[in-house]
């Protein structure tokens, strides 16, 4: 199965979102990753529904919304209306993950669950078959440009095995510190969606970086 590159708009130039989204539209990236942070679940605040709506209206790629927010159940339908194709919530942000997954699916969006670096993959064992995507955080969420946590590779392998054992077909997305220096190992471990913020937008030639990430086996 070939992999998907999901550049993260968090690392784009917010004064030129129009230009940067156009660049992604013209690239070989299939998804655009959109990080929503509330200053409570994570220490940083990014942007909310209105900005996601503006981004999605311009973006021709799959809009992959990563909600790093408390009480995500209050906002799921608003982000779907804003244009999200995939909505990912954190397992740590709700007591009722199963209900929340179905709330996302009921909107028509694909449902993803993200796990912080300290959260074991076994914590989602009983909802694995219900998921379209599992996002393993390879940094502590809140900021772009952080260093990849290498223990994530073992988590990817464990998750991949769990999916095979249970006939699950969720995508495995890796988020944080992903770039040309480690993408091969991440893919080899079993991931198939690579979020890439700084490594794409801060590179000299973002289109070429996307192609290089795509070309990895
Ligand atoms: C981190 C966000 C990431 C971030 C990745 O909290 O969830 O999606 O944008 O940025 P890089 O690729 O720069 O680590
Ligand atoms: Zn993210």
* Average pLDDT, rounded, for the chain: 98
Q: Is 116 in the pocket of ligand 1 (CB under 6 A)?
A: no
**What is the arithmetic mean of pLDDT over 116-130?**
97
State the fold for domain 4-215: TIM Barrel (3.20.20)
Q: For the segment 68-98, what is each residue's pLDDT rounded down to a tens digit?
A: 999 999 999 999 999 999 999 999 999 999 9
SS3 state of residue 99: helix
Q: What is the mean pLDDT of residues 13-36?
A: 98
Question: Over the stretch 38-71, which tens digit does the pLDDT of each residue have?
Answer: 999 999 999 999 999 999 999 999 999 999 999 9
Tell me the average pLDDT across 181-203: 98
For the chain, list the strands marked E by DSSP.
4-7, 31-37, 62-68, 86-90, 110-115, 133-137, 171-175, 193-196
Q: Is the distance from the beta carbon of residue 198 to the nearest atom of ligand 1 less than 6 Å?
A: yes
Residue of the nearest CA to atom 12 in ligand 1? 197
Mean pLDDT (whole number) for 162-177: 97
Residue 7 beta carbon below 6 angstroms from any ligand 1 atom: no
**Catalytic residue chosen out of the listed positions 20, 38, 64, 175:** 175
Find the mean pLDDT for residues 156-182. Answer: 97
pLDDT of residue 9: 98
Q: Per-residue b/e over 43-80, b at no fewer than 16 CB within 10 Å?
A: eeebbbbebbebbbeebebbbbbbbbbbebeebbeebb
Residue 144 near ligand 1, beta carbon < 6 Å: yes
Contacts of 54 (CB under 8 A, 6+ apart): 17
Average pLDDT estimate for 12-17: 98
Q: Which residues contact 124 (CB under 8 A, 6 or more apart)?
A: 91, 97, 113, 115, 131, 134
**Catalytic annotation on 175?**
yes
For ligand 1, atom 1, the nearest C-alpha belongs to: 141
pLDDT-based confidence at 1, cuts 50/70/90? Answer: low
By the 8 A CB rule, do 29 and 63 touch? no
Q: What's this model's pTM, rounded to 2 decimal places?
A: 0.98
Three-state SS string over 28-83 comes to CCCEEEEEEEECCCCCCECCCHHHHHHHHHHCCCEEEEEEECCCHHHCHHHHHHHC
Q: Locate the domains of the chain by residue range.
A: 4-215
Query: Sorting pLDDT into bands at 50, 70 and 90, what band is 188?
Result: very high
φ/ψ (deg, to 5) at 202? -95, 5
């Amino acid at each position: 199965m070939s992999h998907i590159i999901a550049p993260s708009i968090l690392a784009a130039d917010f004064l030129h979102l129009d230009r940067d989204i156009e660049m992604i539209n013209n690239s070989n990236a299939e998804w655009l990753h959109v990080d929503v942070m509330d200053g409570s679940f994570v220490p940083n605040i990014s942007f909310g529904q209105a900005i996601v709506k503006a981004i999605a209206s311009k973006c021709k790629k799959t809009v992959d919304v990563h909600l790093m927010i408390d009480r995500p159940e209050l906002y799921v339908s608003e982000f779907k209306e804003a244009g999200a194709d995939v909505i990912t919530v954190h397992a740590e942000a709700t007591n009722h993950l199963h209900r929340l997954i179905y709330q996302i699916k009921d909107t028509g969006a694909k449902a993803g669950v993200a796990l912080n670096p300290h959260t074991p993959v076994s914590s989602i064992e009983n909802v694995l078959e219900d998921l379209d995507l599992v996002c393993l955080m390879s940094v502590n969420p809140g900021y772009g440009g952080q260093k990849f946590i290498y223990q994530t590779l073992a988590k990817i392998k464990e998750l991949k095995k769990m999916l095979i054992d249970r006939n699950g077909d969720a995508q495995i997305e890796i988020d944080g510190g992903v770039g040309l220096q480690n993408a091969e190992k991440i893919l080899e471990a079993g991931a198939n969606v690579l979020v890439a913020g700084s490594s794409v937008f801060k590179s000299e030639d973002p289109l070429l970086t996307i192609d290089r990430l795509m070309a990895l086996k």
